[in-house]
Amino acid sequence: MLQNPHLEGKTFYWKNGETGIVLFHGLTATTAEVRPLAQFLFDQGYSVFCPLLPGHLTTPADLNRRTWHEWVEAGEKSYQQISNDCKHVFLAGTSMGGLVALELARKHPEARGILLYAPAIRIPRMFIAALLWPFVPYLKKKPGPRPMPWQGYTVRSVRAVNQLRLFQKHIWRHLSEIHQPTLIMQGELDQTIDPQGANLLYQELPSTAKELIWLDDSTHCIILDRQLDVICQKTAQFIQSILEEENAP
């Protein structure tokens, strides 16, 4: 039940400077999903911590036993570790990993900024997971629209999807507590989540320094798709602008 099992998807921490980024993968995926972006950030001189979240790279049944609190707890440990090594820390995530980044930003207002790649803040028909999970453990995924070096389960763990639904509700309830500068990037061709969730998130975030970038030739997994170069450029500009502002006289 694992797509591309030959890829490297475990936790990794690449130390390379006093500015660090904690980068979270999405639901059912592994750190293979974020590795190209992590490599770019490392090459730019940043330390990068990419934790494998509980229930991933094991079995879909294991993922069904996990809660969103466990994903946040794993993210908290990563944040604490990189904070011991770095002067500045940014929080980043793709899809469900974006929600982990948002929750940690709420808990840690000292974090310098938030980077969200197709955040799974709004998904059509999520209520179905709430109805199905006591009776149906898995749903088979449809093939992605484009071949990608993505690693993860070939089925959706329905109880875990319901945990994501609960996680979304929690984030919406506490969104007013998140004030860091935020960059959101969203693919216009995304058929996995509701792309307009990115627009709603942008509108509702209280941060005065925020930006939403639409990618016209990207599907859901934008950090493995055709506009990765654009994403890398915008990511580097966002981080550098915040660091330069802090160092300005």
pLDDT for res 15: 97
Coil/strand/helix, residue 101 = helix
Helix axes 68-85, 158-174, angle to 10 degrees: 60
- Looking at every residue in the chain, the average pLDDT score rounds to 96
Alpha helices by DSSP H, listed for the chain, are 35-43, 60-64, 68-85, 96-107, 127-132, 158-174, 196-204, 228-247
Mean pLDDT throughout 52-78? 98
Full-model pTM? 0.96
Alpha helices by DSSP H, listed for 86-218, are 96-107, 127-132, 158-174, 196-204
Whether 249 has a pLDDT exceeding 60, the answer reads no
Q: How many C-beta atoms lie closer than 10 Å to residue 214's C-beta?
A: 13
- Superfamily designation of domain 2-247: Alpha/Beta hydrolase fold, catalytic domain (3.40.50.1820)
Quick: pLDDT tens for 98-144.
999 999 999 999 999 999 999 999 998 888 888 898 899 999 998 88
Cβ contacts of 78 within 8 Å, gap of 6 or more: 22, 49, 51
Q: Distance (Å, rounded) from C-alpha 89 to C-alpha 83?
A: 7
Q: Which two tokens stand for residue 51?
A: 């934790």
